[in-house]
Structure 1
Amino acid sequence: MEIAYWIVAALLAVFYLYAGGKKAVQSQEQLQPMMGWVDRVPMPLVRTIGVLEILGAVGLILPPLTGIATWLALAAAIGLVLIQVGGIAVHLSRGEAKLIGLNIGLLVAAAAAAWLATTWL
């Protein structure tokens, strides 16, 4: 189970470090081609989402790696599930039901990471 956690957590961490980093530092114009929803969301909220994604990625990896406050890995995974629930809601509210596949995949992966984290906490 531990190996499964590390595989899922590493993949999620890489994705969220990339996506969160982009949201945290790029302008609205730079984000627009990849993330059409940024035109209707205030940039401070986009930046906040980016920072939360980065913190989630770090939370999946550092606590279990160091053995310090390992419960934070579970909290990070649950937080990433909630981010994807919000992402699905935004896409559905914009009539973009076809675009929620990635969100569903990330939600399932984060839920799996949360479940796997409970097996060794």
Structure 2
Amino acid sequence: MDVILWIIAVVLAAVFLAAGITKLRQPLKNPSASGTGQLGNLSPTAVKAIGVLEVLAAVGLLLPAIVDIAPILVPLAALGVALLMVGAAITHARRREAQMIAVNVLLFVLAAVVVWGRLGPFHF
């Protein structure tokens, strides 16, 4: 099970690192002009803040366990990912974007598995 938790954490970290970097690299004036339509009417500051949170989540899912310093941060980062996905699902629900909600639910479940596994029977 430990290997499965590592695989899930790596997948989540890759997804959130890519999403975060994409959001951070977008122009401040018009973030939705880069082709990512899901940003909608969010302010450029909000988009950058979400990007920073996603990059921090990616780092928090892996780095503490890799360097074996404060590995309790891994399930806490996964909890942050789960909360981020709740907020994203609410935003997509308001916009009636059912396909994106499905992605949010999948990422939420993966993050919840990491939280459960690392705080429960398979802690570091």
TM-score normalised to structure 2 length: 0.89
Question: 1:92 offset after TM fit, Å?
Answer: 0.7
Task: Tell me the SS of whatever aligns to 1:92.
Answer: helix
Q: Report the Cα distance in structure 1 between the residues aligned to 2:70 and 2:60, rounded to whole angstroms.
A: 10
CA deviation string 1:68-121 (max 9, x = no partner):
011110110000001100110001111223431111111111111111211214
Q: Which amino acid aligns with 1:57?
A: A
Count of paired positions? 118
Runs of 4+ in 1 over 6 A off after TM superposition: none
Q: Report the Cα distance in structure 2 between the residues aligned to 1:42 and 1:111, rounded to whole angstroms.
A: 29
Aligned to 1:92: 93
Q: Which amino acid aligns with 1:11?
A: V
Aligned to 1:42: 43
Task: Tell me the SS of whatever aligns to 2:42.
Answer: coil
Q: Which amino acid aligns with 1:39?
A: G
Please say if 1:64 is aligned against 2:94. Answer: no
Q: Which amino acid aligns with 1:13?
A: A
TM-align CA RMSD? 1.2
Task: Tell me the SS of whatever aligns to 1:100.
Answer: helix
Aligned to 2:108: 107
Give the share of equivalent positions with the same residue, in percent.
Answer: 38
Question: 1:12 offset after TM fit, Å?
Answer: 0.5
Q: Report the Cα distance in structure 1 between the residues aligned to 2:61 and 2:22, rounded to whole angstroms.
A: 19
Aligned to 2:22: 22
Gaps (5+ residues) in structure 2? none
Question: 1:37 offset after TM fit, Å?
Answer: 3.5
